Structure 1
Amino acid sequence: MSRFSGFYKKNRQERIALLQQERSFSQESAEILIQDKNLPESIAGKMTENHLGTFSLPFSVVPEFLLDGQEYSLPMVTEEPSVVAACSFGAKIIGRSGGFHSEILERLMIGQVALYDVPDPQAALEKILAETESILSLANQAHPSIVKRGGGARQIQVDIKDQFLIVYLSVDVLEAMGANILNTMLEGIKDYLEELSQGQALMAILSNYASQSLVTARCRIAISSLGTSAALNRETAKKIALASQLAQVDTYRAATHNKGIFNGIDALVVATGNDWRAVDAGAHAYAARDGQYRGLSTWTLEGDYLLGQMTLPLPIATVGGSIGLNPKVQAVFDILGHPDARTLASLIVATGLCQNFAALRALVTTGIQAGHMKLQAKSLAILAGANEEEADTIAQQLRKEKHTNLETAKQLLAQLRDKEKEA
C-alpha cells in the first residue's frame, strides 16, 4: 500500500507531517507551511509599484509523482478544484507503468538585436558572421559573472526578415531564467552591431520563445490500467489517441487541449516562483511553429500500451527573480528536494503531460463535468454563504442533485438552516 494512501482524507497538519517525513524537508519549511506564512509586506512592497497587500491562492501538493526513476511531491498553486485531483489520479496510473521519462538536449536562452535602415543587409549579415568570436567575447565581457560560473554566450545567428536584420544571441544561463543576463549582453553588443551593419538598433531583448531549451517528457501506460474491463480499456485508449489527433487538426480543440496542459504546468511554475507568462508565451509559439496552432502533446497506441509525449521550450529557473524572496517558494524547493533547472524543467513538462492524460481520459469516458463539478461543490457551498461546519454537508447534498450550481446550493443551505431552527 502507498505511504500516501488516503492523503486527501487527512487534515492539513497531518499532510504536512507526512510530507515532511517522506520528503525530509527542513523544520523551517514545515513551519512556513504550518503557519501559512506568505510574502512579508516589507518584501512585497519593494517588488511592485502601488503595493496594497498580498493576494493568496490555494497551495496544494500531488504527493507521488515518478520521473526518471525518482519519486517527487509536486507543489501546485491553483484555484481550480479539479487540477490537483486530476494530476494525482493521472500520476498514480502512470506511476504503475513506470512513470515519466525526460530528455533535454541543450539549455540555451535566446535574445535578439533587431537592426533597421541597414544599407546592404546581405553584406552586413556576412560581416557580422565573420566577427562572431568578437561579438561573443563582447557579450561575455558584459556579464563576466555568468562566465566565471561556467555559462556565457555560445553562438550567434543572423537573419534578414522584411526590413530587419536580426542578430540572435544564444547563451548558457545555467540555473537562471536568463532575462537579465541576456538583456545585459545584448545591450553590450548593440553598438558594435550598429557599427558593423551601418544600421540602427531598434531593440535588444530576450525572447521568451526558448527554442534552444527544449524539454521532452514521455510515458508508456499499460492499457490494462485504464479501467476495469479489457474491452473498455482498449476503447478508452483508442479514444485518447483520437482526441490527441483532433487537437492536431482543429485549432478550436487545440486551444482547450493546451489550456488543460497549462492547468498543471502553471500551477507548478507559480509555486516555484517562476514567470508563468514567459513559459506560456513560448509554449504557445511552439504550438504554432509550422504555421498552424496544434495540441502540444501526442498520444498514440502501440500494442498493449498508450504512449504519451510532449516537447516544450522551457525558460525556467531555480535562482533569481522572486525565488529567493518568497518564503513559500523556498519551502516549495525544499519539498521538491532542491532540483537543478534541468530537473525542474523536466518535472514541469511531465506535469503538463500528466494533466493532459487525466483530462483526456475524463473527456472520452464520463465527461469533464462529472469530476469537475464534484470538486466544485464545496466552493459553491461557501459561495452560497455556508460556514465551515455547513460547507461539507451542503457539498455532499449538492453532489446528489441534478443541477450542481449556485442556485441549488443556496436552496439547500436555506433548507438546512430551516431544519436547524425547527430543531
Structure 2
Amino acid sequence: MINSRVPGFRNLTTGERRDTIAAQPAIGPEALTVLDPDAGLTLEQADHMVENAVGVMGIPVGIATNFTVNGRDLFVPMATEEPSVIAAASNVARMARGNGGFTTSRSTPLMQAQVQLLDVVDPQAARLRLLEAGPEIVELANAQDPRLVEIGGGVREVLVRLVPSSRQTYVVLHLVVDVRDAMGANAVNTMAEAVAPRVAEIAGGRSLLRILTNKADLRLTRVRAVFDAGQLGGAQVVDDMVDAAELAVVDPYRAATHNKGIMNGITAVVLATGNDTRAVEAGAHSHAVGPDGRYTSMSHFEKDRDGNLVGTMELPMPVGLVGGATRVHPVAQANVALLGVQSAAELADVIMAVGLAQNTGALRALASEGIQRGHMSLHARNVAVTAGATVDEIDSVVARMIADRAVRVEAAEAFLAELRSGAGQ
C-alpha cells in the first residue's frame, strides 16, 4: 500500500524524489522513465495529435504528496509552471490527513449534446412532439455507439428547452448521455449529428448547432475535508479564512481570483493526465454562476464543533481515461499509471481533492502571512536562474533576495556578481 506522507520530499534532489516514489509498492522505477524530457512526447507523436505541428513544449511535472482520498494514499502528478501550487497543495493535504483526508462522492457521468432548431413555427407544440418521439430519438442516438451501450452507457433522457432570443425562439433538444469512463465529447457529438435531421423533421424546422455543452451540470463531483485548526495556525486564522472565503461568495471580483486558485490545482492534474483543460475550466466557471446570474465562489468554508476548518466543493468534472490525449500522450499515460486510478470517477475524485487543497492553502496564506511571502520565496528561484545563477549559487542568491525583499532580476544579478567576486578573492 502506498504511503504518500514523505517528510522532507521537497528537499530531495530530482533523482532522490524519483527513487523515493519508485520504491513505493505498485509503482516501480519504470513508471517515471517517460518523464525524462528526451523520453516523452516525440515530434512524430505530436504531428499526429495536432495540425501543423512544429515541436513540443515542456511543462514541469511535480508530485503532490500527503494526499489521502477516500481512505487511499496516492502521489498526485501535477503539470504547472506556477511555483507555489504543488507546495501549497501538499502542505494542506498533510493537514487533512489526521481527519481522514479528502472524502468524495459523485453523480452518474452524464454529458449532454444540444441540437439547435431554427424556424419552428409552433415551438410549444414542437417541444411536445419531440418529447413524444423520445424513444425513437434515443434508439437512433444509441445506434451510433453500440460499444458504449454494451458497457452500460448510452442515452438516458431526451430534454427539450425553448430558448427565446432577439432573433426567434430556438427549440433546443438535449441528449443526456452516460459516457462511462470517457470525457464524452466525441460520443455525444456523433449522436447529435446523427439525430439532427430526424429531430428537425419532427419539429418542423431546420437544425443548426449539433454539439456538446461544456456546462456539465449533470456530471458533478463533490469533495469535503476537515483541516486541523492548530496546524492552520489557530482559531483566529480559521476565523479569518472563513471570512476571506465568504468575500468570494458575495463579491464576484474576489470570486474570480479565489476560483483561479482552485483551478491552479485542478488544471494541473487535468493537464498532467492528458484531459481537456478548457472543457473542465469552462464547466467549472459556468457552474460558479448562481441562480441569480451572479458569479460566485466554487468552494465553501465553515467551522465544525471543534473549531476546525471544513472545506467543501461541488463542480462538474468531465474527465476521462478513454480516448483523447490520455491514450496518446506517453507522459499522460505514465501519470495516470502513477496515480493508480481505475476509472474516470476516481480521477475526478483526485482532481477535486487537489483543487480544494490548493484553495485552502491560498486562503491560509492570505489570512496569515499574506500570499506573497510563500509565492515569492518559490518565485525567487526562477528569478535566480534567469539571472544566470548555477545550481550551486541558486540558494545563496534566493536567500539574499528574500532577506532584502528584492525579488527582481536586476537584484539577483547584483547579488550574483557580489557572490562571484567574493568567491574569487
TM-score by length of 1: 0.96
Provide closer, same or farther for how the CA distance between residues 194 and 35 of structure 1 changes in structure 2, counting only shifts above 3 A.
Answer: closer
Cα offset, 1:23, TM superposition: 4.6
Does 1:352 pair with 2:355?
Answer: yes
Whether 2:227 is the aligned partner of 1:237: answer no
Query: Could you tell me the percent identity over the aligned residues?
Result: 40
Taking the aligned partners of 1:274 and 1:344, their CA distance within structure 2 comes to 10
Partner of 2:251: 250
CA distance in 1, matches of 2:284, 2:206: 31
How far does the alpha carbon of each residue in 1:341-398 deviate from its partner, in whole angstroms, 9 at most, with x for none? 1011111111111101010001010000000011111100011122333223212222
Q: Is the 8 A contact 1:154 1:170 kept in 2?
A: yes
CA contact (8 A) 2:43 2:54 kept: no
The question of whether the paired residues in 1 share the 8 Å contact of 2:312 and 2:356 is answered with: yes
Does residue 1:298 correspond to 2:300, yes or no? yes
CA distance in 1, matches of 2:37, 2:418: 36
- Counterpart code for 1:208: N
CA distance in 2, matches of 1:225, 1:129: 55
Tell me: CA distance 1:103–1:338, structure 2 relative to 1, closer, same or farther (3 Å): closer
CA contact (8 A) 1:250 1:294 kept: yes
CA distance in 2, matches of 1:42, 1:361: 45
1:286 and 1:28 map into 2 onto residues whose CA distance is 39
Please say which of residues 3-12 and 128-137 is displaced more in the overlay.
3-12
1:323 equivalent to 2:329? Answer no
Identify the range of structure 1 (22-31 vs 391-400) with the bigger mean alpha-carbon deviation. 22-31
Shift of 1:33: 3.3
Give the secondary structure class of the aligned counterpart of 2:143: helix
**Where in structure 2 are there 5+ consecutive unaligned residues?**
none
AA partner of residue 254 (structure 2): R
Give yes or no for contact 2:4–2:74 (8 Å, CA) kept in 1.
no
Distance in 1 of aligned mates of 2:374 and 2:327: 37
Q: Is the 8 A contact 1:16 1:33 kept in 2?
A: no
Distance in 1 (CA, whole Å) between partners of 2:323 and 2:38 is 23
| Structure 2 CA distance for aligned equivalents of residues 3 and 176 of structure 1 | 31
Picking from 395, 400, 424, the partner of 1:397 is: 400
1:135 to 134, 137, 143: 137
Q: Which segment drifts farther, 14-23 or 208-217?
A: 14-23
Aligned mates of 1:368, 1:217 — CA distance in 2: 24
Report the RMSD for the aligned CA atoms in angstroms. Answer: 1.5
Paired residues in the alignment total 417
Q: Structure 2 residue aligned with 1:221, among 203, 207, 227?
A: 227
Equivalent residue, structure 2, for 1:172? 178
Report the residue type matching 2:142 in the other structure.
Answer: N
Contact 1:16 1:34 in 2 (8 A): no
Q: 1:60 to 1:78 in 2, by over 3 A?
A: same
Taking the TM superposition and a 5 Å limit, the aligned residue runs for 1:152-231 are 152-162=154-164, 163-227=169-233
Distance (whole Å) between structure 1 residues aligned to residue 380 and residue 386 of structure 2: 10
Q: How far does the alpha carbon of each residue in 1:155-214 deviate from its partner, in whole angstroms, 9 at most, with x for none? A: 011010112000011101111100110000001110111110011111100111111101
In the other structure, the counterpart of 1:10 is: 12
Question: What is the aligned partner in structure 1 of residue 415 from structure 2?
Answer: 412
Normalised by the length of structure 2, the TM-score is 0.95
Aligned to 2:24, the other structure's residue is in SS state helix
3-state SS of paired residue (2:404):
coil
1:44 to 33, 43, 46: 46
